[in-house]
Structure 1
Amino acid sequence: MSHGQGVDASPSQISNKSSDSTAGKIIDAVIAKKKPPPETRDAIWTRRFVILSFWAVVILVGLPVWWKTTTIYRADLPLQVMTDWADGKTCRPVFPLRIAVEAPALPSQDAQHLLRTTQHALDDLNEFSAHHLRLMLADNSLPSNASQEMLGTLNYKDNGIQSSANDQDIALLIKLIPGDSGSTPRSELQPYSPTLEVYYSPNQIPPSSSTSSPLATFLANELQRIFAEEQATLAYLLSSSSTAHSPKIKSLSPETAAVLERQSTRAFKYAPTYHLTFSLFSPTAAPSAWEIEAALQDYLSPLLESLSSISNFTVDTQVQLYATFSPSIHQPEFDNDRNAWSLRKEDLSGFINAAEWPLSPSIGIGPTVNFVLYVPDQSQSPLIVKENGGNSWLIPQWGGVLILNPTISPKSDTPTLLTKDALRPAMLTFLNQLFSLLGVPQSPASLPLRLSTLERVRAASLLFSASSTLGALARLTKALPSISIPDTVAESVDQTIAHLHQACDDLRQGRFHGALEHARIAEAEAEKAFFERSMVGQVYFPDEHKVAVYLPLLGPVAVPLVMAALKELQGLSRRRKTRAE
């Protein structure tokens, strides 16, 4: 072979190269078919806009609608003001009592000097600054024999300054009467009039140069004695209330505090209306009737009329025959020493047969006060309490029970009718029990003074109760941020605060009847706000319940949106890395 001749490839080699090239093209075609075509820039931005549109709808429309429809409405409450009332920082209760002194037989200068001397003696005796007595001189032109019912509007002089005051604002009227017979000075408190008659001798009038006198000391001691129980009750009320901040609280002895504690425990909570139920129970068919209407008219109606300025009363009566003892107590036992049947003291609490005797505690719109008159069977009469021989007892915050043992001969039967005269002892006992259940003080001996004391005590207790309720509502609002507060609650709170201010101002001015009215409204509005139905329901719907409701609904919707957003972010990250390489 010559050097200029080229080397020719064999046919077999040419065939192998052709087959390899064909196989490579086939593989490249298969791979090209498996991979999707590259996205255009417009397609990428379209996908991004779709994802963003879904998220925009969720964020800009869905979340605001959900927030608006599920947000719990909370009206604005003056929480700091409410807390200040509860802490006693807004109002310090004071009880200025005006005492009018009528001295027609004394010259004006002597009467004014006597009042100043007595006032100094009163201030020295007073240990309770929140309760103070202020003496005022009545106009000498008023006749000394004028009755309290005809006082109307009187003119009074306080330290020589004449002022006008209504008789309702005068706690007590002192009539200074010169007397030559009997020991002087002496006093007589009228039982059915807020009047204290003081008899003195002319030589007991202090001269203008003296700073004290026996008459002034006597008047100061008498006034201090008359209002001693009221001072103790108000001091106990202020000391036991967390809302009271008085600069000087009168210290009470343990015995006095224990007595006041028992009185407050057995008395009903104040209510605008009480329902009185008088029931006659008998284990036999007699007595089957009683003159209760006449007895109530004579013995009860005058008292209820006197109490009308504090509370209203409704009355009903009932008769229940064949009323057996409660099976939970021992049967009466015969006492040979007293020749009477007796009940043990430990059985008195179960004397009322609640299962069979119709004594419903929910009659009427207010608390029901029950008075039970039980006439025992002739075979078990007379029936008394074994330990003390009494025939009546009081059930705290429920009512009273009296066992009436009719005076009958051994051969006669139990009368079928209880007359008004026969009911008189029972009605008087029920009246005393009603006084205890309403919280009427036991002294002084004048009924109008005791009722006016009750009015002041009730006004103060209602003011403290409403203030305490405001504080509880403020603490509840702060402790439960998810609780709803409707506008009605805010309105009731505003009404409560407004009437509390009025009540506090009336107390400072000595207008105790007005203070009671405003405190009554304030307490009712505070209770209405605290026990709002829609607000109380939210307390029993915690946040865990909301999560359990929302998760099954939001889960299927949120997963696709979140996964699409994550995938797009990952693709964007890969493209940025590819561009960087």
Structure 2
Amino acid sequence: MSTAVENGGTADLTSRKTASLINETADSSLPAAAATGPKEPPPEKPADTRRRTWVIFSFWAIVLALGLPIWWKTTSIYRAELPLSEMLDWADGKACRPAFPLRIALDASPLQEHEAQNLLRLTQHALDDLNDFSGHHLRLQLAANADPTKTAKTGSDVALTIRITPGDSIHSASSSLHPHLPILDVAYPPNSIPTQTSSSSGLATYLAAQLRSTFAEEQNVISYLLETSSIPSEHRPKGISPEVAETLSKQMTRSMKYSRTYHLTFSLFTNGPEPSSWDIESAIDEYMRPMLDMLSPIHNFTIDTQVQLYATPGVQSQVLSKEDLSSFINAAEWPLSPSIGGAPTVNFVVYIGNQTIGAVSESEAADISRSWLIPQWGSVYLLLPPSGPHVSSETLKQTVLTFTSHLLSLLGTPQSGSLPMRLSTLNRMRSADLLLRASSSLGSLARLSLALPSISIPSSVADGVAKSMQHLQMACSTLGGSDSLEHARIAEAEAERAFFEKSMVGQLYFPDEHKVAVYLPLLGPVGVPLVMGLLNELKAWRKRRRQKDGPA
């Protein structure tokens, strides 16, 4: 019994010692486990590291070598190369300043050769002293043809012929312009011919003053065009007076924009069933056609006619005031012909009814009692009702003559001088106007290209600019000649076409902020994983580099 108790006590003692030993062992292992922390992953194999590096490199290589070039090619804006500095030179008046070398022929057949040469020399000196406008270079020369009328009719480059003859007056000279030819007849008093030793002459001064007065309107118009252009003030000639500028502004506002071809529409409107026919074709051929033929070097014209019965004007009062004239045309009911073939239309309306125009004063009665001109549109003439249903050509004579005068005003023809001189002046004025317009358009296009680097410039714009500058150069070199107007017209048309190119204008409304707003939602999901993967790989590489360099 005692033996069993002893064995049981020994067993209990052994189990307690064993438990105590296990606890001590466990307690001694706790600090070691806490000291080592979480178990590190097994080291990455070099092959796996290289594989991951090559994967990241492959993605970036595809993006840089393939994705970016495709994106750049498909989203880049084509900008044709433009000669911007030359375009700005044209706009600033540095490439060409409108100057017209006008040749003036002196027909001094009553004088001896040496007397004519001496008068020519003194007149040129006096003219140079009076002329303060650089746009006109009046150069005198002796007339080569004994008959100046033949020279004028052959259409030579001579702008004006001065024909001097002995006069009846013994005190002063007199002059008069030929009504149908560019000839200035001057009658000089006896003993007014300068001698060989004379340094000045009253006749030479008189001739110079007459030439300056003859071309004064043209000089004022060209000065006005230069003042209203984009040319800087330091490159402009001496300015004109405010009164002259206001008058010229009204004339420019009234006249139509230049076009090589105009469409003339002659309309007959009646307030009843008669008259129903008119002889407008023969009236045009007889009274207007000669002037249209003279204008053919500057403009072409197409003509059509129409008749409308029971036409109701926009103003019902019988006596029209000046305020009523602007609303007399009833555009809602009068079928006025539109432009044909893109050419501007000039409307000439003949209205037969019981309306008359009330004159403000007796001096204005003759001018506004029958007709009035509508700026940049045409003309209206109130015709008294004829006795029958047909309007004859003779009845339309004054009407067509009035329309002819109004047409010249609408085309911007000068008011002074004979008709040939006025048309020659119109040619030079239009050449200068178109040259300045084309130069201004080129300058605007150059400044637009510099201000908007992202705007598209197609090759058609570059071609138009090159063609415009080519014709501008030819127009500038032939100013005053017969070909200058045509070159200036082509240059202005090409410059306008280049500036208003449809594909280029659309880029004005596509700013860079819009591009960023479009691309960010697309590039964000793709770019973030690529960038983060590259950064993580760089960090891992730096860590491996430090571990490799540490033991060393």
| TM bracket (short chain) | 0.7 to 0.9
Q: Give the drift of 1:96.
A: 2.0
Distance 1:457 1:144 in 2: 29
Distance 1:239 1:116, change over 3 A: same
Counterpart contact for 1:89–1:245, Cα < 8 Å? no
Q: Give the drift of 1:517.
A: 1.8
How big is each residue's C-alpha offset from its partner over 1:521-572, in whole Å with a ceiling of 9 and x where there is no partner? Answer: 1111111111112111211222233233323332332233233223334444
Aligned-residue sequence identity (percent) comes to 55
Q: Provide the residue aligned with 1:162 in structure 2.
A: none
Q: Provide the residue aligned with 2:392 in structure 1.
A: 419
SS of aligned partner of 1:271: coil
Q: Give the drift of 1:215.
A: 2.8
Q: Provide the residue aligned with 2:514 in structure 1.
A: 545
Say whether 1:491 aligns with 2:463.
yes
How big is each residue's C-alpha offset from its partner over 1:123-158, in whole Å with a ceiling of 9 and x where there is no partner? Answer: 23223232232110023xx3337523665xxxxxxx
Counterpart contact for 2:56–2:534, Cα < 8 Å? yes
Distance 1:289 1:148 in 2: 44
Distance 1:45 1:135 in 2: 93
Query: In structure 2, which of residues 402, 405, 430 is the aligned counterpart of residue 458 of structure 1?
Result: 430
Counterpart contact for 2:152–2:182, Cα < 8 Å? no
Equivalent runs, 1:151-550 vs 2, <5 Å:
151=154, 167-178=155-166, 185-243=173-231, 249-326=237-314, 329=315, 331-332=316-317, 341-376=318-353, 381=354, 383-385=356-358, 387=360, 388-389=364-365, 390-406=369-385, 415-444=388-417, 446-507=418-479, 511-550=480-519
How big is each residue's C-alpha offset from its partner over 1:168-214, in whole Å with a ceiling of 9 and x where there is no partner? Answer: 32101122234559997333322111122233355332222223334
Counterpart contact for 1:191–1:447, Cα < 8 Å? yes
Distance 1:17 1:366, change over 3 A: farther
**Aligned AA (1:568):** E
Counterpart contact for 1:75–1:490, Cα < 8 Å? yes
SS of aligned partner of 1:147: helix
TM-score by length of 1: 0.83
Distance 1:575 1:186 in 2: 110
**Aligned AA (1:424):** K
SS of aligned partner of 2:509: coil
Q: Give the drift of 1:426.
A: 0.9
Counterpart contact for 2:321–2:357, Cα < 8 Å? no
Counterpart contact for 1:374–1:402, Cα < 8 Å? yes
Q: Which moved more, 1:87-96 or 1:557-566?
A: 557-566
Distance 1:345 1:482 in 2: 53
**Aligned AA (2:401):** L
Counterpart contact for 1:473–1:530, Cα < 8 Å? yes
Distance 1:477 1:191 in 2: 51
Counterpart contact for 1:100–1:173, Cα < 8 Å? yes
Distance 1:382 1:69, change over 3 A: closer
Distance 1:105 1:34, change over 3 A: same
Gapped regions of structure 2 (runs ≥ 5):
1-9
Distance 1:513 1:395 in 2: 31
Counterpart contact for 1:232–1:250, Cα < 8 Å? no
Q: Give the drift of 1:471.
A: 0.7
**Aligned AA (2:383):** L
Q: Give the drift of 1:422.
A: 0.8
RMSD: 3.1
Q: Provide the residue aligned with 2:530 in structure 1.
A: 561
